[in-house]
Chains A and B, each alone.
Chain A
């Protein structure tokens, strides 16, 4: 079965850090560009970051640039998102998703990040 499974979310204080992981299975992970998308409580989807197939190129939404770092380990079929200097507005469900022909065809179930003191 083709799937993405996120982990690593939780409750963290403002200014704290977390590392999210996304384990891919059921397909060949390495050729695909991968993305993180988040959704605040009761809010819409927001694109966060992307990484190319070999990890040599990354980009970020302006709201997270300088605080978030996307990476991948193709040998472990895993995508990561290191999130630092967390703010209340970063509270959201974080989804990893696979890009195929400029669309997101596979999504994980999401992992919740709550930033609160």
Chain B
């Protein structure tokens, strides 16, 4: 049950794009299309942004998109806005409804 690997930080200017990677193994990210992404502002609960690799829940802006290749998933935030500054976590099923989270990435809007 090792955490998925994410870069500690990422940044971009308003209007630019930023992409966050999430690397696991064939037992989690690579084995299932069950990768999800969460946004967390300081002192707040996480918010689901992407499910099943690339599906956006209702209300999530289409600036947020997800993809996966092999054991690595990615979240791209296009057209960065000030309110996108937050921590982002990936998560993957690891079989039998067990899950593992990523190490987290702090996104800074310059």
Residues on A facing B (Cβ under 8 Å): 33, 35, 37, 44-47, 50, 52, 59, 61-62, 95, 99-105, 107-110
Please list the residues of chain B having a beta carbon within 8 angstroms of any beta carbon in chain A. Answer: 1, 3, 32, 34, 36, 38, 40, 45-48, 51-52, 57, 89, 91, 93, 96-104
Once bound together, how far apart are the Cα atoms of A95 and B89, in whole Å? 15
Nearest CB of A to B75, in Å: 13
28 contacts between A and B (CB under 8 A): A37-B46, A44-B102, A45-B38, A45-B46, A45-B89, A45-B101, A45-B104, A46-B3, A47-B99, A47-B100, A50-B97, A50-B98, A59-B96, A62-B1, A100-B51, A101-B52, A102-B32, A102-B51, A102-B52, A102-B93, A102-B97, A103-B36, A104-B36, A104-B38, A105-B48, A107-B45, A108-B45, A110-B45
Enumerate chain B residues within 8 angstroms of A101, measured Cβ to Cβ: 51-52
The complex places the Cα of A110 from the Cα of B40 at a distance, in Å, of 13
Contact B51 A107 (CB under 8 A): no
Cβ–Cβ < 8 Å partners of A109 in chain B? 45
CA distance A110 to B43 in the complex (A): 10
B51 with A105: CB separation less than 8 A: yes
Q: A45 — nearest CB in chain B belongs to which residue? A: B101
Point out the residues of chain A lying under 8 angstroms from B104, CB to CB.
44-45
Task: Point out which of B32, B47, B93, B98 has the most chain A C-beta atoms below 10 A from its C-beta.
Answer: B98
B108 to chain A minimum Cβ distance, whole angstroms, is 17
Q: How far is the CB of A58 from chain B (nearest CB, A)?
A: 10
